[in-house]
């Protein structure tokens, strides 16, 4: 497709040369009042314009298709890198990069379209220089030299005057994203904002972001104004310079009248080809900002991969039992949460993590899930282990898409899904198989979301499930029912609970104390 586009550009450039000579003959026929020649050249003119139109439209279509294919390829690659090795999480917690979503969705689109456009412009400009240099030189060597010097001076002045735009456009993209993310924050937390009555605080924050954006755009506008003073005059002078140099030769009778129009067109084409920086500087400054942002994204992803989790905990995924081997966990402030934990949890042994130090259980949950946590030791994690945090993640989509794992979407029948949903107490959520196609996640309370996540676990039937303080939301009776369902389905439950939780529901208890000490109590008789 790219080769075809280059061929079309060759054709367009050749047609422009033909059009230049036809235009000269057309104007000469008018000046000399030659009706037959005028009609013939007019027909040629119309034919050339028609072919130029068709070839130009096809070239534009091919360019857009090629840009779309390239964007799709680069975006898929960027998404792969973003989601590999939890890079998305590490970028979020490290706060080293702002708005990676915008860089992937918008900046890649701008990069592909603009890069391809520049490649085409450079190629086309090169062809124009090669073809029209000969045309202009044959008319007037002096005019050719003036064209080269004029374009060189114009490019230099444009760079000097417009250089600040590169940094300003980079800032504009960030400030646009900050303002948009603030609006999204209000939308996504509408109920909480209303209950807390913090509309004024949110408005102040939004207005501050908007003021920063407007100030940035005003600065860009001022730089563009100064640049436009030069570029506007530069472009106007292109129209008069050829006439000033060529007209005296016509007045002396050395050339035909049509040569004046031909030289003007050839001069404009050649100066335009040499003046790519002048014509496209605003676009180039935006493009430089986009390239810098994408480069920062790739660099941050690479650093997150090489840096890893920033933790001394080794996470080993295997097919055996869940085990903690000399695991020590600490807080961000350096305080000991858990010291030298060595415990193996065989299948069929429901465990309660409790004690006076609730942060230790939360840290153990995070470390087992693979979330970077300060500490040392080794965690042997079975492959068939699922996690249920306090606020479960329910992907957007229908109830069926939420309940079934994406890698095995056909493992459960409609009747099995309905039975499981009803068994966890969500009878009113779905009445028949048609209800499985309904999107429900935005209409459910936190407790209902947790029960739906439990239903997802029951359908997946892992050997282990690690819960994080679900009882506080579900209530004691509902939570007891959940534990019974897990036990009936041979799913071993490890529950990060609270100090007052009932211990009779478990066969083992891990008590975590304030100083990092722990005790393991096995309750089986």
DSSP codes of every residue in 435-501: GGGS--GGG--HHHHHHHHHHHHHHH--SEEEEES-HHHH-HHHHHHHHHHHHHTT-EEEEE--TTS
DSSP category for residue 389: -
Q: What is the pLDDT of residues 265-319, one digit of tens each?
A: 788 878 887 777 777 777 788 888 888 888 888 888 888 776 655 567 888 888 8
Same fold, 2-307 and 313-522: no
In which residue are the tokens 């002396």 written?
252
Check if the beta carbon of residue 496 is closer than 8 Å to that of residue 465.
no
What gap in Å lies between CA 165 and CA 1, rounded to an integer? 34
What is the C-alpha separation between 111 and 134, in angstroms, rounded?
A: 35
What is the pLDDT, as a whole number, of residue 213? 93
Put the strands of the sheet holding 518-522 in their side by side order: 385-388, 464-468, 492-496, 351-354, 508-512, 518-522
How do residues 38-47 score in pLDDT, each as one tens digit? 788 788 878 8
| SS3 of residue 211 by DSSP | helix
Residue range 2-307 in CATH 1.10.10.10: no
- CA 395 vs CA 216, 280, 399, 414: distances in Å: 37, 43, 10, 19
Q: Which CATH architecture has domain 313-522?
A: 3-Layer(aba) Sandwich (3.40)
Largest Cα–Cα separation, the chain: 119
Q: What is the pLDDT of residues 450-485, one digit of tens each?
A: 898 899 899 888 999 999 988 888 888 888 899 999
Q: At what angle do helices 2-31 and 35-83 cross, to 10 degrees?
A: 160
Token digits of residue 228: 């436009």
Q: Which residues of the chain are modeled with pLDDT < 50?
A: 441, 525
The DSSP secondary-structure symbol of 176 reads H
Contact 155, 277 (CB under 8 A): yes
The model carries a pTM of 0.63
- The CA–CA distances, whole Å, from 305 to 309, 368, 370 equal 8, 19, 14
Q: ∠ CA(30), CA(36), CA(51), 5° rounding?
A: 80
Q: Domain extents for the chain?
A: 2-307, 313-522
* Site of tokens 């994408």: 294
Please report the pLDDT score of residue 525 as a whole number.
44
Residue 187: enclosing H or E segment and its boundaries? helix 164-188
Predicted local distance difference test score (pLDDT) of residue 214: 94
pLDDT at 333: 67
Q: What are phi and psi of 286, to 5 degrees?
A: -65, -40
Structure tokens at 133: 């240099």
């Amino acid at each position: 497709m790219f080769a075809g586009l280059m061929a079309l550009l060759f054709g367009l450039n050749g047609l422009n040369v033909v059009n230049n000579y036809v235009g000269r003959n057309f104007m000469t026929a008018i000046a000399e009042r030659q009706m037959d020649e005028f009609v013939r050249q007019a027909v040629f003119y119309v034919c050339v314009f028609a072919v130029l139109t068709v070839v130009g439209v096809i070239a534009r279509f091919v360019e857009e298709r090629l840009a779309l294919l390239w964007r799709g390829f680069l975006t898929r690659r960027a998404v792969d890198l973003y989601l590999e090795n939890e890079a998305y999480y590490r970028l979020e917690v490290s706060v080293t990069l702002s708005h990676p979503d915008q860089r992937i969705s918008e900046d890649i689109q701008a990069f592909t379209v603009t890069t391809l456009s520049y490649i085409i412009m450079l190629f086309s400009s090169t062809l124009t220089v090669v073809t029209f240099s000969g045309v202009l030189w044959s008319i007037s060597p002096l005019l050719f030299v003036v064209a080269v010097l004029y374009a060189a001076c114009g490019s230099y002045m444009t760079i000097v005057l417009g250089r600040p735009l590169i940094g300003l456009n980079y800032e504009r993209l960030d400030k646009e994203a900050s303002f948009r993310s603030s609006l999204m924050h209000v939308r996504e937390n509408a109920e909480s904002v209303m209950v807390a009555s913090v509309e004024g605080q949110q408005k102040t924050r939004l207005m501050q972001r908007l003021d920063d954006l407007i100030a940035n755009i005003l600065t860009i506008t001022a730089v563009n104004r100064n640049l436009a003073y030069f570029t506007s005059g530069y472009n106007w002078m292109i129209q008069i310079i050829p006439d000033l140099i060529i007209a005296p030769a016509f007045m002396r009778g050395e050339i035909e009248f049509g040569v004046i129009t031909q030289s003007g067109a050839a001069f404009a084409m050649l100066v335009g080809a040499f003046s790519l920086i002048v014509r496209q500087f605003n676009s180039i400054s935006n493009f430089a900002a986009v390239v810098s942002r994408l480069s920062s994204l790739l660099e941050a992803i690479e650093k997150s991969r090489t840096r890893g989790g920033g933790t001394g905990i080794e996470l080993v995924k295997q097919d055996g039992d869940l085990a903690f081997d000399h695991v020590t966990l600490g807080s961000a402030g350096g305080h000991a949460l858990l010291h030298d934990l060595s415990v193996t949890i065989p299948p069929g042994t429901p465990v309660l993590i409790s004690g006076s130090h609730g942060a230790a259980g939360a840290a153990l949950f995070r470390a087992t899930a693979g979330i970077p946590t300060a500490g040392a030791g080794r965690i042997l994690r079975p492959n068939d282990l699922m996690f249920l945090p306090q606020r479960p993640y329910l992907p957007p989509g229908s109830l069926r898409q939420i309940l079934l794992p994406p890698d095995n979407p056909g493992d459960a029948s409609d009747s099995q899904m309905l039975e499981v949903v009803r068994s966890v107490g969500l009878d009113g959520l779905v009445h028949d198989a048609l209800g499985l196609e309904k999107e429900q996640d935005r209409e459910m309370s936190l407790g209902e979301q947790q029960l739906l996540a439990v239903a997802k676990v029951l359908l997946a039937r892992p050997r282990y499930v690690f819960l994080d303080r679900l009882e506080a939301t579900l209530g004691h009776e509902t939570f007891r029912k959940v534990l019974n369902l897990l036990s009936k389905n041979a799913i071993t439950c490890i529950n990060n609970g609270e100090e007052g939780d009932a211990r009779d529901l478990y066969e083992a208890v891990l008590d975590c104390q304030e100083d990092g000490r722990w005790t393991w109590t096995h309750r089986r008789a």
